Amino acid sequence: MTRNRPVDFGFVAHDDAELLAQMAMVRAGGTGWINIAPVIDEEHQPPEPGPFAFLGGSTHQVPVITWMPGKRHAGRPVKPTTVGLQHASGPRVAWRLRDLGQPVPAGWRVTQDHPRRGLVAEVPADADNREVIGWLLRAATTVCQVEMTGRWTAAVHPGLP
């Protein structure tokens, strides 16, 4: 069994044509996921976690977004899209985001909000990709602990052939 290598590219805005096309391709393929992270200039990069970092809280000072479309199974409804946000901003990030003007959108169901494993939510399968990625980028910007450039990098993992 061989794995496809991820397709990496950079973008600036949530409505980037390549990003939306890649999301549509992964959704149509029924397998795979996309990881997104902000681009951080070298002088603002956080130090690498030490050897005992696993004993403390999250080490994701630079947040990482994951988007995975819902699976399609013959004869059954499409499962919800799953989104994740790894961060180092502490517990109950969904509440903090709400208080900072970026509440989890209505209709999304938070399935995990953990300081080490991050925020995970189920999004209705028919949700607009542009709106989903827009909220994820705003949320990641809100919880990022270092200065960002305004650019993002995406790694598209198309799954197994």
Q: What's the pLDDT tens digit per position in 7-63?
A: 999 999 888 999 999 999 999 887 899 999 999 987 666 566 555 544 454 456 789
Nearest one of 102, 119, 118 to 110, comparing CA atoms? 119
* Amino acid identity for residue 51 in this structure: P
Q: What's the pLDDT tens digit per position in 133-145?
A: 999 999 999 999 8
What secondary structure does DSSP assign to 46-93, as a single string?
Answer: PPPP-TTGGGSS---SS-EEEEEPPP--TTSPPPPEEEEEE-SS-S-H
CA angle, residues 2, 129, 142, in degrees to nearest 5:
100
pTM score of the predicted model = 0.86
